[in-house]
């Protein structure tokens, strides 16, 4: 559990951090804009990796490394160095290289693709040496600032998993940073299976619908089947349909389509059971005679195991206390982020949001600027708590 060597920070100290960190506004926001305007689709994060590495060098850090998975990390040596704490943010964004990544800056808002997920998180890593210097904070523990690659989609948390599998350090605890939403407090991870159903028509369609709308008829049946499974499942198990695609011209029914889905549950067995049901749905669209209607196949591209640090773990309790001191209502929700990989290894960890925002994963995604300093005070306060010593489970 907890092995605290220092008393908890007072409310006055935590609030003073927020006020003092406003003086770093210019540096922080410059890093947000630069990180925001660098495309970093999953698997192609190289330019953003270099940006973060360059910022670490400019901060005077000497222990900087990149690995074969595309992660970049820097070590802030502790005064004692007996423990290693990780502060992580994923580098990749959902947006393609060719999309417009221009960042618009207003009086108390920035907008642009990927700012909330996760340019702000990356910018906080880049600014962390200045943050600690400004507050005059030195840790007994080593702090590893880690930008991870390949979080989304087929990336399947490969960056974080690779780091944990190959590091020679014993990580005592960790924080995962996401741009939004301030107050987010994730101490558990959901079981998850993310997949794609590929559908292809060949030969003559068997129904008027298939000859009129092509593969859309098959995709419609699959969506209806998924809705029916959702109706039967408990509230703790859900299938989310993220994308349904079928492309053709005005007068040619589409012959190929894809449906992307994600199963989420607190129970790993339910994830597996629902996955099997979806496979059966696809198999029901198999060839049904000489006039081939469709071929449908399911490919699972990412998976997570459920994990739970616990709502009464000392780190969870302290995070809740810090947010309340800052006047922020905690929103406790499970995560499917890098937190899952950390909990898999028995490492006490949380996922936190830095600021408020809106329109996540849209071209007009935006973040509020003033609440960022609440988010930074939260992160620094928890790092000091972790520096006191939290044993892995």
Closest residue by Cα to residue 150 from 302, 61, 20, 45? 45
Q: What was the pLDDT predicted at 295?
A: 85
392 has pLDDT over 50: no
**Alpha-carbon distance 139 to 387, whole Å?**
6
Element (H, E) at 177: strand 171-180
Q: Domain map of the chain by residue range? A: 11-189+306-387, 191-304
- Give the model's pLDDT for residue 8: 83
Mean of pLDDT values over 98-104? 96
pLDDT at 309 over 70: yes
CATH tag for 11-189+306-387 (out of 3.40.250.10, 3.40.630.10, 3.40.50.150, 3.40.30.10): 3.40.630.10
- Main-chain phi, psi angles of 222, to 5 degrees: -65, -45
| E strand residue ranges, 212-287 | 237-246, 256-265
Q: What is the CATH number of domain 191-304?
A: 3.30.70.360
187 pLDDT above the threshold of 60: yes
Structure-token pair, residue 381: 């306060």
In 3D space, the residue among 333, 339, 331, 275 whose CA is nearest the CA of residue 307 turns out to be: 339
DSSP class of 105: E
The answer to whether residue 4 scores a pLDDT higher than 90 is no
Q: What is the pLDDT of residues 40-87, one digit of tens each?
A: 999 999 999 999 999 999 999 989 999 999 999 999 999 999 999 999
pLDDT at 74: 97
Query: Percent of the chain, pLDDT > 90?
Result: 81
Strands (E), 190-324: 191-200, 237-246, 256-265, 295-304, 307-308
Nearest to 173 by CA among 130, 139, 144: 144
Q: Is the pLDDT of residue 203 over 90?
A: no
- What pLDDT does residue 293 have? 62
**Predicted pLDDT at 29:** 96
Q: CB-based burial of residue 323 (10 Å sphere; 0-12 exposed, 13-18 middle, 19+ buried)?
A: buried
pLDDT tier for residue 3 given thresholds of 50, 70 and 90:
very low
Token pair of 275, please? 């996955």
pLDDT, tens digit (0-9, with 9 covering 90-100), for 6-29: 568 999 999 999 999 999 999 999
The pLDDT assigned to 213 comes to: 82
Of all residues in the chain, the percent with pLDDT exceeding 70 is 93
Q: What is the pLDDT of residue 111?
A: 97
Q: What is the mean pLDDT of the chain?
A: 91
314-325 and 372-387 helices cross at what angle (nearest 10)? 150
Q: How confident is the model at residue 36 (pLDDT cuts 50, 70, 90)?
A: very high
Does 260 score more than 60 pLDDT?
yes
Over 60: is that where the pLDDT of 204 sits? no
Instruction: Report the pLDDT value the prediction gives residue 284, as an integer from 0 to 100.
Output: 87
How far is residue 114 from each of residues 25, 68, 102, 110, 118, measured CA to CA in Å?
Answer: 20, 24, 10, 11, 6
What is the per-residue pLDDT for 153?
Answer: 86
* Residue 316, pLDDT above cutoff 50: yes
pLDDT of residue 294: 75
Q: Is residue 202 a contact partner of residue 315, using CB atoms and an 8 Å limit?
A: no
Lowest mean pLDDT among 66-80, 195-209, 242-256, 260-274: 195-209
């Amino acid at each position: 559990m907890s092995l605290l060597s220092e008393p908890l920070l007072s409310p006055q100290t935590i609030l003073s951090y927020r006020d003092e960190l406003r003086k770093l506004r210019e540096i922080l926001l410059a890093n947000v804009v630069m990180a925001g305007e660098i495309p970093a689709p999953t698997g192609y994060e190289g330019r953003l990796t270099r940006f973060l590495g360059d910022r670490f060098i400019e901060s005077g850090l000497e222990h900087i490394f990149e690995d074969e998975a595309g992660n970049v990390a820097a070590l802030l040596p502790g005064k004692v160095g007996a423990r290693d704490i990780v502060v992580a943010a994923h580098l990749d964004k959902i947006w393609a290289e060719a999309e417009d990544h221009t960042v618009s800056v207003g009086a108390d808002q920035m907008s642009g693709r990927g700012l909330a997920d996760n340019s702000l998180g990356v910018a906080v890593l880049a600014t962390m040496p200045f943050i600690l210097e400004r507050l005059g904070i030195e840790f007994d523990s080593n702090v590893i600032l880690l930008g991870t690659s390949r979080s989304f989609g087929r990336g399947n948390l490969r960056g974080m998993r690779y780091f944990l599998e190959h590091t020679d350090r014993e990580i005592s605890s960790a924080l995962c940073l996401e741009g939004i939403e301030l107050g987010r407090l994730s101490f558990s991870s959901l079981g998850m299976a993310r997949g794609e159903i590929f559908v292809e028509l060949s030969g003559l369609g068997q129904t008027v619908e298939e000859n009129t709308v092509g593969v859309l008829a098959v995709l419609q049946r699959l969506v209806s089947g998924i809705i029916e499974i959702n109706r039967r499942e408990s509230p703790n198990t859900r299938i989310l349909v993220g994308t349904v695609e079928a492309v053709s011209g005005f007068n040619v029914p589409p012959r190929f389509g894809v449906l992307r889905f994600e199963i989420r549950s607190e129970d790993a067995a339910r994830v597996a059971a629902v996955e099997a049901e979806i496979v059966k749905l696809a198999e029901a669209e198999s060839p049904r005679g000489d006039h081939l209607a469709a071929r449908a196949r399911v490919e699972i591209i990412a998976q997570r195991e459920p994990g739970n640090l616990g709502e009464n773990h000392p780190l969870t309790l302290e995070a809740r206390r810090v947010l309340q001191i800052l006047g922020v209502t905690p929103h406790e929700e499970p995560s499917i982020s890098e937190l899952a990989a950390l909990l898999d290894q028995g490492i006490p960890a949380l996922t936190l949001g830095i600021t408020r925002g809106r329109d996540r994963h849209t071209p007009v995604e935006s973040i509020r600027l003033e609440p960022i300093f609440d988010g930074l005070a939260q992160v620094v306060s928890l790092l000091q708590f972790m520096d006191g010593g939290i044993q892995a489970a």
